[in-house]
Structure 1
């Protein structure tokens, strides 16, 4: 191990050494780059497009015009709680490290695995959704593409999915500095691209809906009875917002590569949520105002998922403008996919660095020239492809159940990982010593609200999306089953068995990679070594 006092350390390196780690990753990211990666992963050009149909069919305009700001407010509270934690503990391990510090090795072990699985699922879902949109976009510009791979859209999308996954992996392998530049470009693309889409929709659409439609219209295409609308169907539509505004923990995972991380990573989390919430709402309202031909949009011939949001644009816009909107969204989704891979690989690197992942020595290895965890990037890519294989099977109902299941796994895994350290911070109370960015006395109600909201959505997104997915009913079919609870429950069971059978004997939480801790420069820095495990 290295002696941290053998060479002069800057403030970021001192803070990292106080947490127990030497500087292995290259610290080349600015505060804007740190914000940009979370903003890119949230990606309103991705989530607002790819999961629009989930809200449209499960609630309609009401689920979007009112559901988006409502759920965004809850997510903002979650983000603020996490900003306080990353300010105190700015490490690449992020959420897992916070849980281990506040709750001990077992809390860290569970949190780390939930976070890693959630991030891999996010990467898989984003890349696959991008592939489906790219499939449509290529077809608009090159009609001959429709006959590729026998004209099967599922095979076409999956082939593009593999290609995009390889591209994202290669860009992540090449250079950490290049990634920072790509994410900076991505942030501007999302801002100006979203603005361009809104202007195109509002200035060139053939007809417009009334404000009454946008803010009061209810749609229930779920197959469940209208009597279940408010308590079952509508909450399922909230998956649009909860899925889109996620992945903001990337600011924490990239904190070891960011200058002034104790402050800039904290800002990166809450600012990425705030600006995405505002931009996403404006974008979605524009979608609703031009969704005039509801009969065409709801036509099963358009397909479910990407087919419905493209039906909105196809029915509302001139052909050239339709192509422009699809192209802007597809490029934004590519940026999002690259950023997701970055966050996932850094989490895998950090968790492996502490010995929690089988083959840890391989996944925690950093390339000596690029300072990138190359093996972690490759492993994340392969696993993401494997868990998306069920997307090759088409539901008889035409609903991309496999895609929404992967989306649900991403949401459940990530938000349960967020819940654990937020709850432990609440439990720690005044024993918790914050960093330079803090919630002050507001932590009590904010952490309580965050925990309650996460518990709520974790239950709802495990429920069936279709009546034919409800067990023990005449219409039940395994094709339509939401396998999110099966996979999530299986993972939790596997983690539990592994912990009690083996891991508790050797996993002791974060492993120091420095010999001694430098003298803390401030009371907040001192807190990094003083906080004791709770429970």
Structure 2
């Protein structure tokens, strides 16, 4: 595996790692850098990840079962097992369409700018700047807020895990006050940033460890709770079809609102695009990694969720939990022991940190990539790469600062976590849909001609499902999870979402319209000409060559 290969002036560095790399690895790295140069950027980050390592990072970004544990409250309130199991399957199939659609586009434009750069390249000329600018802000905001939601979710989950030990029945040993929860959140956020910043070269190995750790944890949890089942087991009819909505919404809409659980766990799908410039052959490896991860996540999710539904305690009691974290209570009820429950929860707690580290890494890369094109105030500062650590440290610190500032909202309302997770899902969903939608407006000609990960005759169907999901998800996750609405249950996600859209729009018309030009102009034109020629050759039955092949 190539661990480094470029000097800062762009010249090839024949260090030990590069010298001992296989010919295919060297070719992949050099080809990826050549394509990146044609898109207007100099390689500044180190390409360390193979296909499997990219897939492993994508898996860790979702961190099943951690991602499903922290938001399990939503589907239980939305209806119970029927929402948990079939909602997970339904959303996983939809996100598979999103991943495949993004993968096809990424195989043409594999940069850390991800959906932002792709939107600029695919949109009609008259709207490309504003479309890319808004998409870029949605992508950056989504990365930062979903990372914030992960760190906050980890904090609340830790408190619930500690409280499986009780002073008396129903009363945990740590009645965490608001400031204590905030301080734990800050500590977790800083820790994840330290790991991401100082251990960058080891992160692929940490992700590989996380895969083995995850499935070992899943097997232990599955076998233990089904074997012990202290309070008995539910019937298969209930575990797969029980539906008892308690959200106050009509049954059908209650089911839909409960899908936030699965949407949150899969929202990280496109965050891997920010790592394109650290993958050896991103045009093929990143699309494969995203699709492979969804399949792996779907299986892992079912392995975790189905056993929980068989040992589910009373639904009303779980929904009424003050912590909003039912997973620790379910596992404790199943094993009948606080110590046993905590030991089973410990692997999930560690996964929370691994997930936070992966999200921190991805968020810093997309912030850096967007700054690189001058789209963020103070762009020159945020677009610098720390050459000693080989990470965009300034962008990482900006992302961390924004998360901590937003975390202060928790002092005003305990519903803050709902807002963070909701905004993260909404903005990421919108950013994923944008390049897919503009590609469809252009009749998919560019991606059909040049994609190294082609969807062929399934392209239109998969693209349509991906875009339709975004039109459902945006209003859906603006809804409060519970009726009637109170100060404690109101959904602040639409407020935060609209605020970010307003800020991005105002900044564009106040500054961006005159100062923001998008990706490097001359190189963009070169790439667009090449793709257009490839498209013409493709639809005339000819064979593109030279630059057209490389694009």
Normalised TM-score (structure 1): 0.88
Equivalenced residue count is: 508
Deviation sequence 1:267-306 (CA, Å, 0-9, x none):
11111111101211221111101114445434x3x32521
* Structure 2 CA distance for aligned equivalents of residues 254 and 133 of structure 1: 28
* Structure 1 CA distance for aligned equivalents of residues 335 and 521 of structure 2: 58
Unpaired stretches in structure 2, ≥5 consecutive residues: 1-7, 14-26, 535-542
Name the residue aligned to 2:248: 223
Q: Identify the range of structure 1 (42-51 vs 406-415) with the bigger mean alpha-carbon deviation.
A: 42-51
Deviation sequence 1:69-125 (CA, Å, 0-9, x none):
111111110111011111111111111111111112211101110011111111111
Unpaired stretches in structure 1, ≥5 consecutive residues: 395-399, 470-476, 531-535
Going from structure 1 to structure 2, the CA distance change for 1:11 and 1:215 (only over 3 Å counts) comes to same
Deviation for aligned residue 1:209: 0.5
Name the residue aligned to 1:93: 113
Which is bigger in relative contact order (C-alpha 8 A, separation at least 6)?
1
* Structure 1 CA distance for aligned equivalents of residues 144 and 434 of structure 2: 19
In the alignment, does 2:99 pair up with 1:79? yes
Deviation sequence 1:148-197 (CA, Å, 0-9, x none):
7xx43433332211111011111111142122222222222222222222
Find the partner of 1:447 among 442, 463, 480.
463
Q: Identify the range of structure 1 (348-357 vs 260-269) with the bigger mean alpha-carbon deviation.
A: 260-269
In the alignment, does 2:309 pair up with 1:309? no
Normalised TM-score (structure 2): 0.86
Deviation for aligned residue 1:502: 2.6
Residues 13-32 of structure 1 aligned to structure 2 (within 5 Å): 13-32=33-52
In the alignment, does 2:102 pair up with 1:113? no
* Structure 1 CA distance for aligned equivalents of residues 190 and 291 of structure 2: 31
Name the residue aligned to 1:474: none
* Structure 2 CA distance for aligned equivalents of residues 251 and 524 of structure 1: 29
Helix, strand or coil: the match of 2:234?
coil
In the alignment, does 2:270 pair up with 1:283? no
Residues 257-276 of structure 1 aligned to structure 2 (within 5 Å): 257-276=278-297
Alignment root-mean-square deviation, CA: 2.9
Name the residue aligned to 2:336: 318
Deviation for aligned residue 1:340: 0.3
Deviation sequence 1:117-152 (CA, Å, 0-9, x none):
111111111011111222233455798x9777xx43
Helix, strand or coil: the match of 2:452?
coil
Find the partner of 2:370 among 351, 364, 376.
351
* Structure 2 CA distance for aligned equivalents of residues 34 and 513 of structure 1: 31
* Contact map agreement 1:31 1:268 (CA 8 A) in 2: yes
Deviation for aligned residue 1:525: 7.7
Name the residue aligned to 2:255: 234
Name the residue aligned to 1:495: 504
In the alignment, does 2:443 pair up with 1:423? no
In the alignment, does 2:223 pair up with 1:174? no
Deviation sequence 1:208-243 (CA, Å, 0-9, x none):
11011112211222134xxx111x211110001111
* Contact map agreement 2:65 2:300 (CA 8 A) in 1: no
* Contact map agreement 1:35 1:269 (CA 8 A) in 2: yes
